[in-house]
A and B are shown apart, each in its own frame.
Chain A
């Protein structure tokens, strides 16, 4: 009978010598400690709030806010409830963040590429820019831009203008806007159709390229298509050409649209600061592509443009995109400093609400929730992209 060597019976060891047991005890102790800590803090908080007569709960959100907001994306007045005020704040934060991200990316990419220029003056200026704007705190940059707008620029009456169309003054930056008619709505629809058509064209051009080897323009033509459809829409609406031109009338700018000095100061401060960091990310990404890749592409007969598009850029972008999104998140978080200038972003509004209602826990929780949502969703998208684009290895 084959039984093999006799082994001692298996026993589950519940003693200090078992690693699993120790781990369990450790975790239970840690969780208990943290739990006790949280309970203790919560007790104190409730006691303090009771002592100071502060109520808790989010029901205050339905009450009228009682304060005006300097700039809003949609209609709001002091009688609207708090939750609407917070929504205005979120909209303002997103407004400056999105515009800031776009402009900072363009500026940062240009400077990052400029570090590789053959011209020493371009290289030197780009390096100087990066070192200057990276080493000064962003709050100070914001405050200086704001001071520039409120102190140095002339008041509206003496405002300098470009061709009578653009005005820069203490009241902000004013520019002409077209008078909105249904033609512009049609142009907007045309734009959307144009984008879809451009995608379809790209797919068709790709397939033709693979079938016959003839290269069709993949960048200029789609852009032309998008613009063409937008123009078609505008024509269909009667091709209106009326513009609303800003004209200073006393203390108010009649006509046109204005960007407040607060918005412009926050935007410029964030853009110049973040562009310095973005340029470093772009520079590192381009430098990360080994020189051998460039040589191999050249030895295969690829032109410089093709080598850049097919070999260098795809590899560089994989290195650039993760830290780039990190910079986007930093820009969004830094927009919270707008509270120092009076730009009504979500932190500024929460601060006002906090001071008015005393509900510190609730207001701070809202701030953190807004930013956490942004950060975590961006991280999730970034992780998905990373997994998809990762260079496959053994």
Chain B
């Protein structure tokens, strides 16, 4: 045993574990299997990437020239179809000169969605803005007031339609979902049963059947002679559909609030509705915002189905653009890649944003 203690100073490790060389060794060549995999993938890349790059970039046609595209068929991609048709795909049949209106309207909605996720903006005036935006959107898109030309709803299409259906679907479904979630937790059996039936019914069937229901049955439900707009019918269908899923998410948030909160509120003399409004819901909603964002992304993707009930969102607009134009019809695949890019960009960005929000909301609760 040492009589006098001499401290040992830290030394650097003999074999470096960080830095590019160490990373390559650990992540690409760690053991036999890993080495084999790395080499196999490199070989695969060498075999696939050159012809792919040749088709997609080198021999691709960017100019909106149908003849050049035909000539390059098989060897080069025809991105010219996008250069030629992108405005139709993105905006549908909306009149060309007025396309700034759906642009502004869409940005307005998206901005509102982004802002609504940030805790700092959860003030009463946010709800007022949401309520005000709805008529503002319809005026901007539909026109007829403020000197804007009237544009009937069956000309609305493309990306603005997708954003509108998703945003309003979630916005209208949200109050419904809160009521249904509260109802499902109620002690009154009749209320609880009604809410359970609604949720389980809608969640058990595909969206297409709800859209069919909205499309074919909704006109039958109204008094004879009245026929609602296709857009309204589809919006009702999407709202009902989103409502059931959102209700489950809100219910999850409500369940996460400890019963002690409700007990404390009762001892302070608050009634049922007061407790929900002032104590339970504010806390629960902070928990469910990530879930609502995920629902928004899912509904955003699901709006692609409205093409089956004859509304021309992105996919429908693409088919409309190309089916009637024999020059460009052979290049549908390139058109589809464009739509894939648009959807991927939106959904990926929204899911990243949702993760960021989740981390921020969670951080405020960590000690």
Contacts and interface: CB of A to CB of B under 8 A. Distances in A.
A336 B206 contact: yes
B191 interface: yes
A339 B209 contact: no
A55 to B, nearest CB: 13
Contacts of B301: 135-138
A144 B217 CA distance: 31
A44 B218 CA distance: 10
B187 A23 contact: yes
A375 B203 CA distance: 8
B111 interface: no
A4 to B, nearest CB: 29
A364 B216 contact: yes
A123 B37 CA distance: 11
A189 to B, nearest CB: 37
A300 interface: no
Interface string B307-324: 110000001000000000
Nearest to A54: B220
Contacts of A137: 301-302, 304, 343
B54 to A, nearest CB: 17
Interface in A322-364: 333-334, 336-337, 339-340, 347, 351, 354, 360-361, 364
A372 B191 contact: no
Contacts of A354: 212, 216
Given A30-B194, A137-B302, A371-B206, A144 B336 contact: yes
B339 interface: yes
Contacts of B348: 131, 135
A23 B27 contact: no
B217 A51 contact: no
A147 B333 CA distance: 7
A108 B70 CA distance: 39
Given A118-B31, A119-B38, A347 B224 contact: no
Contacts of B284: none
Contacts of A31: 190, 194
B190 A30 contact: yes
Contact of A45 (B191, B221, B339): B221
A194 B332 CA distance: 51
Contact of B28 (A47, A121, A139): A121
A310 interface: no
Interface in B213-232: 213, 216-217, 219-224
A375 B333 CA distance: 35
B118 interface: no
A371 B204 contact: yes
A148 B336 CA distance: 11
A135 B206 contact: no
B37 A122 contact: yes
Contacts of B205: 333, 367-368, 371-372, 375
Interface residues on A, range: 35 or more
B220 A45 contact: yes
A34 B305 contact: no
Interface residues of B, number: 53
A69 interface: no
A364 B212 contact: yes
Given A333-B205, A347-B209, A121 B41 contact: yes
A162 to B, nearest CB: 18
A144 B31 contact: no
Contacts of B209: 336, 347, 364, 367-368, 371
A295 interface: no
A26 interface: yes
Nearest to A358: B216
B213 A26 contact: no
Contact of B343 (A51, A136, A151): A136
Nearest to B45: A121
A118 B224 contact: no
Contacts of B221: 41, 44-45
A27 B188 contact: yes
Interface in B324-367: 330, 332-333, 336, 339-340, 343-344, 347-348, 351
Interface in A114-159: 117-122, 125, 131-132, 134-140, 143-144, 147-148, 151-152
Interface in B167-194: 187-191, 194
A51 B344 CA distance: 46
A376 interface: yes
A49 interface: yes
B201 interface: yes
Contacts of A372: 201, 204-205
B336 A143 contact: yes
A371 to B, nearest CB: 5
Contacts of B38: 119, 121
Contact of A48 (B188, B208, B219, B340): B219
B344 A136 contact: yes
Given A27-B191, A337-B305, A361-B217, A140 B343 contact: yes
A119 B212 contact: no
Interface string A20-52: 000100110011001000000100110111010
A47 B224 CA distance: 7
Contacts of B203: 375
B34 interface: yes
A51 B305 contact: no
Contacts of B315: 139-140, 143
Given A47-B223, A48-B224, A131-B348, A334 B206 contact: yes
A27 B189 contact: yes
Contacts of A26: 188, 191
A374 B206 CA distance: 11
B154 interface: no
Interface string A147-191: 110011000000000000000000000000000000000000000
A376 B204 contact: yes
Given A34-B194, A131-B348, A143-B315, 4 more contacts: A44-B221, A44-B223, A140-B304, A148-B333
Interface of B: 26-28, 30-31, 33-34, 37-38, 41, 187-191, 194, 200-201, 203-209, 212-213, 216-217, 219-224, 301-302, 304-305, 307-308, 315, 330, 332-333, 336, 339-340, 343-344, 347-348, 351
22 contacts: A26-B188, A27-B188, A27-B190, A41-B221, A44-B224, A51-B224, A118-B27, A119-B34, A135-B301, A135-B344, A135-B347, A136-B347, A139-B304, A140-B339, A147-B333, A336-B209, A337-B305, A340-B307, A360-B220, A367-B205, A368-B201, A375-B204
Question: Which 3 A-B pairs have CB atoms at the shortest separation, nearest pair first?
Answer: A375-B204, A120-B27, A135-B347
